[in-house]
Amino acid sequence: MRTTLKIVLPLVVSVAVVSALFAAYQVRTERRNLRSELSRRAEILGESLQETVEPLLDHGPYKNLQRIVARFGQREHLKGVAVYDEAGAALAITAGLAPEFQTRPAAAVRAAQLDANYGEFLTMDPAAGAPPVPMHIFALPLHRDGQVAGTLVLFHDASYINTQVQHTLRDALLNAAIQTLLISLLAFVLVRWTFTAPLALTAKWLRTLRAGQTHAPPITSQGEIFDQLHQEVTHLAQDLNAARASAEEEARLRNSHVSIWTAERLRVSLQNKLQEKPLFVVSNREPYLNVHNEKDNSIGIIVPASGVVTAIEPVLVACDGTWVAHGSGSADREVSDAYDHQRVPPERPSYTLRRVWLSSEEEKGYYQGFANEGLWPLCHIAHTRPVFRPEDWVLYQRVNRRFADAVLQEMEGTESPILLAQDYHLALLPRMVKEARPDARVAIFWHIPWPNPEVFGICPWQKELVDGLLGADLIGFHIQSHCNNFLETVDRAVEALTEWDRFAVNRQGHVTRVRPYPISVAFPENGHGGNETRNSGEERAALCSELGIDGSLLGVGVDRVDYTKGIIERFRGIEHFLDLHPAYQHRFTFVQIGAPSRTEIDRYKHFLDEVSAEADRINARFQAGRWKPIVLLKKHHSHQEIARYYRAASVCLVTSLHDGMNLVAKEFIAAREDERGVLMLSTFAGAAHELPDALLVNPYDVQQVAEAIYRALEMPEEEQARRMERMRKNVREHNVYRWAAHLLSDLTEIRIDTPERIEVQQIP
């Protein structure tokens, strides 16, 4: 309240002063206008009388003159009229005028001297005890034969002016008082609503956070003027929460003698190893996309779901690094500067995003063509024939060069730079960068499987791809078998010395290490990952109600609609399960969250149709009333939306036909804070090597999939808890921060020999 009064009182005083000054101005203006009007009327009346009186001066006696004076003396506010001769004696005068007007007043003398009209305001001394009488005297010269022969004087009572001015003053002060009161009340309400109340809420929120209540309700915007303040306060609160959570987690881990990687630990560790050097990251996908919002013509931000962004961003923030990526957002050009840069994250700019622009032809040939119609099916061995077009290969080489040139531009001025390249889109880039900057430490992580050499040999340009990858100092895969396949491919594709004992390749004097780095997820600590207000049963009931279905048991699958994910095989396993165990009909519903993917490619577009048709066929067989066995949700869902299904599901099916890792399995485990639920996992997913407590299945074996679903739904809660506890421990300890820490730590510790040193070593 005191703060509000401190703000409002000066405003009230200011309004009052301004209102008083305006009232005074109104009174002054009113007085001036009334006097001007009276003077004008006196002049008009005087000039009219002047024409009548002047001819009568030549004739005496002056009875006619007296009649005229008496007749005109009846006008409004006119106190009287007098005619004086040239000596100043009264020739005719209105009865009732003060005795002192028997001789001409000073105004008449002045008019005779000037031979011009003259008027003035004066106050007549009253009789004893009477108030002063304000008057207006207007005098006109009278002529005879062109000479001044007397004066005509009009006397007006001006007391009405004071009366009217007093009324104006009263009204003005009353209006000023009312306006001041209303403005003060409005200001009080507005200040309380838009200023002091939000400030008080912010202060209360900060006190709550300072007291350690990390689940304090977030503050909401109270108007445009506070948006920026709230944004900064929100960031401050997030930093406080993150710092407190990190400190608590580190203390807890030290106390329990457990070493868990966190974002803060990763940041500090890599900051020391980078020795104040920036980290450079290059990938096809950018961490932040700017898109146009057609509804309000604004620009919005989309953050693609990516474990890589989660893991790498803390390091980039810590060292003010640079991320080079394809600018695919519709509004990316508008927010990028002249050097194609944007500082990100948008709410707290801490590192640089450098965008590479691709034409539609380049994107179609490099990304849709060679990368996703060629390398993707080749590496996944999902019985979809890879397509290799020479024109796509040309564009793949060109775009890799474009990315490499952008990386080299960003590296200028940095001694011994460190680069982490991402995935199969940029297989040629390591060699291109290394040839231009031999002092650079270069790593590439291959996120998809690497097939055996017989399969990879299908690619017409396998030698060029392998040689491009061997330009890196470190190549990372998810699992050891992919490393083995790569080394076997090297043996067959290029001339190089493969050192199996230390998993390295020596090609033309350059050594490339090949290591497994199983990627993971950011495991939520201290209950931050889920909705704590609902248990599994309540969440299931809420989701069934939203979907408009009946069901006491839910299964879930979360995938891009991709032919490598085994979605159709999964559906057929569910169908067979319902045939074998009809008691689960009307009870078990499987929800498939299927985000459409790469629909510009015919194979993906047709596969989406196949998935929809298979779901419709199975539903047509079993559906009854509000129950149906499969609910297919063909749209993108946020992490928060997907987490609800994870928490509600009795079983999660991950039936990839071939997968590098598949983080859905680990996301499901991380979401199950209740340590319930069963994970069914394909033996062909990389995650199967880390999660033996999942029910491992061959997705091609419909009988095995059906039996595994039945076993999952019949599994006692005690066994569910034992399995989930072990899997959660594994995922928690082997989280995405550990993945980034091990990969980047190994990269920073690689010794880079100069070309001169290499040449000396090769001399016999």
pLDDT tens, 248-290?
Answer: 555 455 544 457 888 888 888 888 888 888 999 999 999 998 8
pLDDT tens per residue across span 508-560: 999 999 999 999 998 886 554 444 568 899 999 999 999 999 989 999 999 99
Same domain, 13 and 129: yes
Give the angle subtended at the CA of 155 by the CAs of 154 and 158, to the nearest 5°.
135
The yes-or-no verdict on residue 676 having pLDDT over 70 is: yes
Residue 761: pLDDT band with limits 50, 70, 90: very low
What whole-number distance in Å separates Cα of residue 375 and Cα of residue 371?
A: 5
Same domain, 557 and 513: no
Host H or E run for residue 91: strand 90-93
Same domain, 490 and 503: yes
The yes-or-no verdict on residue 762 having pLDDT over 50 is: no
Residue 395 lies in a domain: no
Residue 409 lies in a domain: yes
Could you list the residue range(s) of the whole structural domain that residue 449 is in?
273-358+404-522+737-752
At residue 298, the pLDDT reads 83
Residue 368 lies in a domain: no
What is the mean pLDDT of the segment spanning 213-241?
A: 57
pLDDT tens per residue across span 355-375: 999 999 999 999 999 999 999
**Which of 266, 282, 346, 278 lies closest to 314 in space, CA to CA?**
266
**What whole-number percentage of the chain has pLDDT above 70?**
88
Return left, alpha or beta for 531; rule: phi > 0 is left, psi -120 to 50 is alpha, else beta: beta
| Contact partners, residue 576, CB within 8 Å, separation at least 6 | 702, 703, 705, 706
Residue 75 lies in a domain: yes
Same domain, 556 and 679: yes
CA separation, residue 601 to residues 380, 458, 564, 632, 697 (Å): 17, 21, 15, 21, 30
Same domain, 289 and 253: no
Q: Where are the beta strands (DSSP E) in 430-520?
A: 441-445, 474-477, 497-499, 504-507, 510-516
The yes-or-no verdict on residue 166 having pLDDT over 70 is: yes
pTM of the model: 0.70
CATH code, domain carrying 55: 3.30.450.20
Residue 338 lies in a domain: yes
Identify whether the C-beta of residue 565 lies closer than 8 Å to the C-beta of residue 448.
no
CATH code, domain carrying 511: 3.40.50.2000
Please give the backbone phi and psi of residue 411, each rounded to the nearest 5 degrees, phi first. -80, -15
Identify whether the C-beta of residue 328 lies closer than 8 Å to the C-beta of residue 286.
yes
Same domain, 474 and 584: no
Same domain, 308 and 455: yes
Query: Total structural domains in the chain?
Result: 4
Q: Is the four-CA dihedral 704, 710, 712, 714 of positive or negative sign?
A: negative
What whole-number distance in Å separates Cα of residue 519 and Cα of residue 311?
A: 10
Q: Which two tokens stand for residue 448?
A: 């998809």
At residue 689, the pLDDT reads 95
- 510: which strand partners? 507
Same domain, 34 and 48: yes
Averaged pLDDT of the chain: 87
Same domain, 65 and 9: yes
The yes-or-no verdict on residue 75 having pLDDT over 90 is: no
What whole-number distance in Å separates Cα of residue 478 and Cα of residue 622?
A: 40
- Give the residue from 115, 137, 163 where a domain finishes: 163
Residue 210 lies in a domain: no
- 93: which strand partners? 82
What is the mean pLDDT of the segment spanning 304-319?
A: 81
- 696: which strand partners? 681
Same domain, 350 and 413: yes
Same domain, 592 and 719: yes
Secondary structure of residue 598 in the 3-state scheme:
coil
Same domain, 420 and 546: no
Q: Where are the beta strands (DSSP E) in 114-226?
A: 118-124, 133-144, 147-157
Host H or E run for residue 291: strand 289-293
What is the mean pLDDT of the segment spanning 161-174?
A: 88
The yes-or-no verdict on residue 667 having pLDDT over 80 is: yes
**Which of 154, 153, 157 lies closest to 135 in space, CA to CA?**
157
pLDDT tens per residue across span 418-427: 999 999 999 9
Residue 231: pLDDT band with limits 50, 70, 90: low
